[in-house]
Amino acid sequence: MRRTPASLVDARPGPAHTIEFDGREIPALPGQSIAAALWAADILAWRSTRVEGRPRGAFCGIGVCFDCLATVNGRANQRTCLLPARPGDTVRTQEGHGRADLAV
């Protein structure tokens, strides 16, 4: 028998649901963070830096580094490593600081 964390605690996740990422449906499990769902879908970057436009995704995984910021349900600067993926969430790649709506 193969030992996994799920088998050790006899965990049985509920049925998967979907979130939308840049117009694409992504499966997610109950309790899974948005960052984890994106990683599981082989998406490694969902933000670009302000100055050089370099790709960023999850780095620390605990909400300290802010590399995993995305626009979630229309709200910019959301830390995807801390947000649970909820059915119907809409996640968009964030350009820079995510405040283009405030540009003058």
pLDDT in tens, 35-60: 999 999 999 999 888 888 888 888 88
State the pTM of this model. 0.80
Domains in the chain, ordered, with CATH?
15-96 (3.10.20.440)
Average pLDDT over residues 8-15: 76
- Specify the residue for token string 């992504």: 26
